[in-house]
Amino acid sequence: MTVIPVKQTASLTAEELRKMQAYWQAANYLSVGQIYLLDNPLLREPLKLEHVKPRLLGHWGTTPGLNLIYVHFNRLIKRHDLNVIYVAGPGHGGPGLVANTYLEGTYSEFYPNISQDLEGMKLLFKQFSFPGGIPSHVAPETPGSIHEGGELGYALLHAYGAAFDNPDLLVCCVVGDGEAETGALATSWHSNKFLNPARDGAVLPILHLNGYKIANPTILARLDQEELEALFVGYGYKPYFVEGDDPETVHQLLAGTLDTIVAEIKTIQQDARINGFSKRPRHPMLILRTPKGWTGPKIVDGIPVENTFRSHQVPLAELASQPEHLKLLEDWLRSYQPEKLFDQTGKLIEELAELAPQGDRRMGANPHANGGLLLKDLKLPNFRDYAVEVPNPGTTTAESTRIMGQFLRDVMKLNLDRQNFRVMSPDENNSNRWNAILEVIDRVSTAEILPTDDHLSPDGRVIEVLSEQMCQGWLEGYLLTGRHGFFSCYEAFIHIIDSMFNQHAKWLKVTRHIPWRRSIASLNYLLTSHVWRQDHNGFSHQDPGFIDHVVNKKADVIRVYLPPDANTLLSVTDHCLRSRHYVNLIIAGKQPELQWLDMESAIKHCTAGIGIWEWASNDRGSEPDVVMGCAGDVPTLETLAAVDLLRQHFPDLKVRVVNVVDLMKLQPEEEHPHGLSHKEFDTIFTTDKPIVFAYHGYPWLIHRLTYRRTNHKNLHVRGYKEEGTTTTPFDMVVLNDLDRFHLVLDVIDRVPKLGYTAAYTQQFIRDKLIEHRQYITQYGEDMPEIRNWKWQH
């Protein structure tokens, strides 16, 4: 385990101070330049309207603070030889991060046309928030970033995710006082309860109190000192305060404080690494209070701008209509004295350029921020070794996700030495049946552990916290820095991170097209405790709509799997752990359920993603009378039970059973890379026979995926139609017409040739449904013939 040596605290010499101030001025100059200038980048001629962009887009307010911190971290990295990445929570301060990575040289290395000279600077300015250029926020295009910051609230989670299992890493995480109001951020401070300084890196949260959001003061900036300090003591930190609006004073205070903090972090780490973890330390954090829009225009049109919400975006926006604004802009730009910062060629002068660290120590070049560079494949056991014996389809039961847990246990075990695999869940690891993992690794907690606690220790790598947002954010941070993981969650409550998923999927989509970005491990979800088996928890726990949410994202980054049993789940899990740069969504059952496929059949089925289950069909060698499609474990069960009834009642009826594991197979191949060709689809589903399709989620999704298919007009889909309560498992499907009985009725409605026995069967089924209702309301559980049904063909 690495032990970082401690250096003494020091404050700045006059020379250091002068240079750092100049470097900061350079970063601020470049930031303002990006927001405003199309041309005349170093103001070597008087500023004219034609030099200014016609549309002014960007956020100035947070930028000088982000720049200040960057400059100080450059010093800190060099002084203490630190390995640092910079997470900019107020990610709309994009110009600041771009400016700093340009100054340190990484920007031009990644984008050679943006060279460190006058021509490059002109392009740097023009491209910002400009069509064909770069986005206005810190974005995947920004060197050194693992965090977009367009949607606020996830900075600290990404920072902790990056620090887990990265003992040498220090994550500088700037938290805006605006984003600090979000729920995700408010609970993120508690991440320190899951960070073990003996094993993990450090996070230095810097709460940047610049006081304002778009139009309002922030909550935290208006707390009195007692409450502010108490809040962060309460969160488990040792808060340091740096406040001021005089640059020199702030530089001195900040440099000294950061030296102290680094020494303290090193002391904490040394102690834990030498003596072992004993007690959660109070990690240092910094509260930095500087004016919003610092160094920008103080007054515009007689109204205060600096240090008010009015400096949030573009402080001078009426340049075309108000000539005095152009003058103010020129004064503002010249106040940084660019002529003293950049040489004749337009390059940062040498004495300032020296302030930046070298090579990979530059925050824009740190490989942790381009995690694919560091990614190592997981060592995977052979998933076939975990196979459930399935002598005959549909006769034995298993808890599919429990089997998956056994496989994941050995994935964890094989990679313990690499420390690059974590599983997350909102207090549901065992509820979701991943208990086996705890045989090889504990849950992590740095709190006091009591004897009654179960598999809990500071050395654990199973992370459980009652916040889907924390699980998601940590995992994203972990994956983005080149590691692997799996997130298990109750299906209904994964919607809590819908928006976080969006941002991650967008990140994946964009980074696919950035040449210097390397692929990272996929974000893998297991959704269980799913809609059909939340009969006990009731309506609030029933929602299968995350699939719908996922499939709206770009086809080349999303995958959806609905393995119907344990062996298919194993095969899919192995596949997902090997995949890169996707979001893989797996939905599978955790309750004892009938098993359908032996391992070889499962592999074959999962490789195809969709297939005719010949053993359940009786249309061999001919066209079927009806196709029974199914996707999802419970719909598969009900479909096969319906087929059983059909066989009994209509022995001559030719039924084809089609099971879908990979949902994207249903879409046309031009819409999704996994999609079946129309010919393949027609071969499976016929071009003219009725299809009764039992689906795990909202039925409309199947129509949306298949409306271009030849036989779509004959497709009838059953799924969740938002009916549910606390009832029995079988009643859940009955309430939504997805049960075996309704499926048989659906077939009868669609196959005209069934003749006079159809009416008898319809009456039989109506009687069964009444019997079901009476039985459950009397006994509170499903009829034995339902509970004990097996496939007997």
Radius of gyration for the chain, computed over Cα atoms and rounded to the nearest angstrom: 30
Binding region for its own copies (CB under 8 A) out of 109-117, 489-497, 736-744, 754-762: 489-497
Q: Which of residues 113 and 648 has its CB atom nearest to its own copies in the complex?
A: 113
Could you say which residues in the range 570-609 bind its own copies, by CB under 8 A? none
Taking the alpha carbons of 529, 534, 538, 540 in that order, is the dihedral positive or negative? positive
Q: Give 357 or 458: the residue with its C-beta nearer to its own copies.
A: 458
Taking the least distance from each CB to its own copies, the nearer of 10 and 299 is 299
Smallest gap from residue 373 Cβ to its own copies (A): 23
Rounded CA separation 532/698 (Å): 12
Tell me the C-alpha to C-alpha distance, in Å, between residue 83 and each of 73, 140, 385, 417, 779.
10, 21, 41, 22, 64
Count of residues in contact with its own copies, rule CB under 8 A: 121
Of residues 734 and 743, the one with the C-beta less far from its own copies: 734
Q: Could you say which residues in the range 24-53 bind its own copies, by CB under 8 A?
A: 38, 53
Q: Which of residues 655-714 bind its own copies (CB under 8 A)?
A: 698, 700-701, 703-704, 707, 712
Inter-residue contact 627 to 686 (CB < 8 Å): yes
Span 433-472, contacts to its own copies by CB under 8 A: 443, 445, 447-448, 450, 452-454, 456, 464-467, 469-470
In the complex, least distance from residue 13 CB atom to its own copies, rounded to whole angstroms: 37
E-assigned strand segments in 613-688:
626-631, 655-660
CB–CB of 150/183 below 8 Å? Answer: no
Position among 506, 605, 672, 709 found at the interface with its own copies (CB under 8 A)? 506
Smallest distance from its own copies to CB 734, Å? 10
Other CB atoms within 10 A of residue 617 CB = 17
Identify which of residues 116 and 307 has a Cβ nearer to its own copies in the complex: 307
Question: How many alpha carbons lie under 13 Å from residue 445 in its C-beta half-sphere?
Answer: 13
230 contributes a contact to its own copies by CB under 8 A: yes
With CA atoms as reference, report the closest residue to 478 among 165, 152, 154, 155. Answer: 165
The CB density around residue 359, as the number of other CB atoms within 10 Å, is 9
List binders of its own copies among 203-222 (CB under 8 A).
213-219, 222
Build a one-symbol-per-residue string for 241-280: x at contacts with its own copies by CB under 8 A, - elsewhere: ----------------------------------------
What are φ and ψ of residue 439, in 5° steps? -70, -25
Q: Which of residues 721-760 bind its own copies (CB under 8 A)?
A: 722, 725-728, 731
Dihedral angle sign, alpha carbons of residues 110, 111, 115, 121: negative
Rounded least distance, CB 543 to its own copies, Å = 6
Query: Applying CB under 8 A, which of residues 122, 461, 530, 541 lies at the interface with its own copies?
Result: 541
Query: How many residues can be counted in the chain?
Result: 793
CA dihedral for 550, 551, 556, 558, sign (positive or negative): positive
Q: Which residues contact 354 (CB under 8 A, 6 or more apart)?
A: none
Does 787 bind its own copies (CB under 8 A)? Our answer is no
| The pair of three-digit structure tokens given for residue 126, joined into one six-digit string | 């023009």
Q: Which two tokens stand for residue 766?
A: 């109506």
To its own copies, the closest distance from the beta carbon of 207 in angstroms equals: 12
Question: Toward its own copies, which CB reaches closer, 563 or 724?
Answer: 724
For residue 57, the one-letter residue type is L
Q: Provide, rounded to whole angstroms, the least separation between the CB of residue 67 and its own copies.
A: 20
Burial class (CB in 10 A: 0-12, 13-18, 19+), 303: exposed
Candidates 398, 379, 375; CA nearest to 388 is: 398
The smaller minimum CB distance to its own copies, of residues 184 and 202, is found at: 184
Contact flag: residue 418 with its own copies (CB under 8 A) = no
User: Which window, 334-342, 428-436, 515-523, 561-569, contacts its own copies (CB under 8 A)?
Assistant: 428-436
Residue 435 C-beta: closest distance to its own copies, Å: 10
Give, as one character, the DSSP assignment of residue 719. Answer: -
Least Å distance, CB 127 to its own copies, is: 10
- Binding to its own copies (CB under 8 A) within 276-305 occurs at 304
Distance CA 601, CA 603 (A): 5
Least distance between its own copies and beta carbon 784 (Å): 11
The torsion region of residue 755 among left (phi > 0), alpha (psi -120 to 50) and beta comes to left
Site map 74..113 versus its own copies, x via CB under 8 A = ------------------x---------------------
Nearest distance, CB of residue 729 and its own copies, angstroms: 10
Q: Which tokens is 512 given?
A: 């696919």
